[in-house]
Amino acid sequence: MATFHIYLKLLNLCLGKKRFEIPCYKNKVLEYRSGIETDLDNVLQIPNVFLNVSKGQVAPADDLKKAFGTTDVDAVVLEILNKGELQVGEKERKDQHERVQREVVDIVAGKLVDPKSKRVYTTGMIEKALDQLNKQEAHSQQQASGTGTPASPENGDQKVKKKDLPVWTGVTTTKSAKEQALHAIKALIAYQPIPVARARMRLRITCPTNILKQSVRSASKVGGEDTGEEKATGTVKDRILSFVEQVESQDMVGEEWEVIGFVEPGAFRSLTEFVGTQTKGRARAEVLDTAVVHED
C-alpha cells in the first residue's frame, strides 16, 4: 500500500521503492484540504511531479504510468495532495496539533450547553470531557484485544449497541477542525461524560393567519402500516408550536402570525419540511441565531 508524507514545503508519495515529490507550500496544503484554498497555483511551488526536487529530477511518464496508472500529471498531483500525510519536525507537529485541538474545543464549546441551566461550559471542561472519552475508548480497545472472560449475552448486546455510537479517539491533524468538532459533539452527546445538549436555535416563524386554524392531516397507521386513510393531528398553528421548545414572543403583524422562539437543532429540518409541505411554502422559518447559549 502506498504511503504519503509531507516534509515542510515538500509533498512526497512513496510507492514501493519509488518516491514522487511535489514542491508545495505546507500551509496552503492544509488550507486546500480544508476547502479554504481552491486555487492550485497558490498551493504548488511548481506544478510538476519529481523523483527528486532538489536535483530537479522530473518523474518520467513511464514511472507515473506504472505507479498511478496514468501519465496525467494533474491527476497525480491531486492524488498526492488529497492523500498525503503531514510529516514535519517534532516541534512543528506539536504546535500544529495544539492549534487544531484549540480550534476543535472552541467549536464544541460554542455548540453545547448544560441541558438544565442552558449555560456554556468552559473550554477546559470540554477538553477534559473529550480526554475522558479518549481514555475510555483506549481502555475498551485494550480489553477487546485481551483474553478476558467471554461476554455474556447481555454484554454482547451492549457491545452491539456500542458499535452504533460515535467513537472519539482524539484530535488529528489530517482532518479539518470543523469536521472533528462535529464528531466530538456527537460523541459527547452519546456518552455524556458531562451533561451536555446542543445549544438551541433561535427562529422567527411566520404564517398567514388565514391558514393557522387549518387542520393538519397525516396518514393513519395500523400495526405500523399505512391504512390509506388520513386523520387530523391538530391545526397548523398547533403543529408549528409543537416544534418550538420555548416561545419568546407571539404577535400578529398585518395578516401574518409571527412567533419567535427556540428550537432544538434536530427539530429544525422537520419544521422546515412541515412549513414547506403542509403550508405549501406560505409559512417561513428564519434562523436568527444558530446557537443560543447563556453565559455568566
> What one-character-per-residue DSSP string does 20-61 give?
EEEEB-HHHHHHHHHTS---GGGTBSSSS-EEETTTTEEPPH
| Backbone angles phi and psi of 68, in degrees to 5 | -110, -10
Q: Sorting pLDDT into bands at 50, 70 and 90, what band is 13?
A: low
- First-to-last C-alpha distance (Å) of the chain: 52
- State pTM to two decimals: 0.56
pLDDT in tens, 55-104: 888 999 998 888 888 999 999 888 888 876 655 667 777 888 899 999 99
Strand order across the 50-52 sheet: 57-58, 50-52, 18-23, 10-15, 3-7, 86-87
Report the alpha-carbon distance of residue 196 to residue 189 in Å, rounded.
6
Residue 70: what pLDDT? 92
- 109, with CB counted inside 10 A (0-12, 13-18, 19+), is buried
| C-beta contacts of 123-130 below 8 A and 24+ residues apart | 125/194, 126/188, 127/101, 129/188, 129/193, 129/194, 129/196, 130/105, 130/168, 130/170, 130/184, 130/187, 130/188
Residue 119: what pLDDT? 87
Q: Is 110's pLDDT higher than 80? A: yes
Which residue in this structure is represented by grid cell 509533498? 11
| C-beta contacts of 32-35 below 8 A and 24+ residues apart | 32/81, 33/81, 33/82, 33/174, 33/176, 34/176, 34/177, 34/178, 35/176
Most confident of 77-81, 172-176, 207-211, 262-266: 207-211
pLDDT in tens, 239-284: 999 999 889 999 998 899 999 999 988 788 899 999 888 888 899 9
Sequence-ordered list of residues with C-beta below 8 angstroms from that of 147, at least 6 positions apart, any chain: none
**Of 282, 286, 254, nearest to 268 (Cα)?**
286
